[in-house]
Amino acid sequence: MDSIISTFHIDWKIIIAQALNFGVVFVVLYIFALKPLSKLMAERSQNIRKGIDDAKTNAALLSETRAEYDAAIVKAKSEADKIFQEGKKEAEQKRTIMLEDAKKEVAAMVEGGKKTLEAEKVKMVEEAKSEIVNLAMLATEKLIKSKQDLNSLS
C-alpha cells in the first residue's frame, strides 16, 4: 500500500482539493445550467404537448361543428322542402276552391242570363203579340174604313 502511495504520490490533501473542485463544478453547473435548462426544456415540452392537445381539441371541435353545420343544412333543406310542399298543397287547395267558386259564379251568371233572356223573350213575344194585335186592329180598322168609304162612294 505504501509503495502504491509513494509511486503515485497519493496525497489526501490533493484528493480533497479535487473533490472540492468537483463539488464547485456540480453546484455551478446545477444552479446555472442544468436546473434552468431542464426547466426551460420541460416548459417547452409542456407547451408543445399543450399545442398538440389544443390542435387535437380544435380538430375535434371543427369536425363536430362541421357535422352540426351539415346536420343543420340537411334539416333546413328538409324544412324548406316541407314548407314548399305544404305551400304547394295549400296553393293547390286554394286554386281548387277558387276554381270551384269561379265555376259556381259562372254557372250562376249563366243561369241569371238565361232567366233574363227567357224573360226578355217572353216580354218580346208578348210585345210582338200586342203589336200584331194592334196591327191587326189597325188593318181591320183600315179595312172597315175603306169599306165604308167604298160604300159611301158607291
Partner 1 sequence: MQAEQTTNQEPTEHITLFAEPIHQYGSFTVTNSLLTSWIAVLVIIILALALRSKLKTVPGKLQNLFEMILEGALGMCDQVTNDRRLSMKIFPIAITVFFFILVSNWLGIMPLGGFGIVERGAEGLTFVPFLRGATADINTTLALATMAVIGANVFGVVSIGIWKTFNKYVNLKVLGGIFTKIRHEPTIIIVAPITFFVGLIEIVGEFAKIASLSFRLFGNVFAGEVLLASMAALVAYLVPIPFLFLELLVGVIQALIFSILLVVYFTIAASDHDSEHEEHTEARAEHELSSPSPL
Query: Which residues in this chain contact partner 1 in the complex, by CB under 8 A?
Result: 7-11, 13-19, 21-22, 24-26, 28-30, 32-34, 36-38, 40-41, 43-44
CB of 43 to partner 1, least distance (A): 8
81 with 74: CB under 8 angstroms?
Answer: no
Residue 4, C-beta contacts closer than 8 angstroms, at least 6 positions apart: 10
Rg over alpha carbons for the chain, rounded to the nearest Å, is 63
Taking the least distance from each CB to partner 1, the nearer of 43 and 141 is 43
- Looking up cell 265555376 gives 103
Taking the least distance from each CB to partner 1, the nearer of 21 and 85 is 21
24 with 31: CB under 8 angstroms?
Answer: no
Compute, in degrees rounded to 10, the torsion defined by CA atoms 122, 127, 128, 134: 150
Taking the least distance from each CB to partner 1, the nearer of 26 and 69 is 26
The total number of residues shown for the chain amounts to: 154
CB of 10 to partner 1, least distance (A): 6
CB of 54 to partner 1, least distance (A): 17
Taking the least distance from each CB to partner 1, the nearer of 17 and 97 is 17
CB of 12 to partner 1, least distance (A): 9
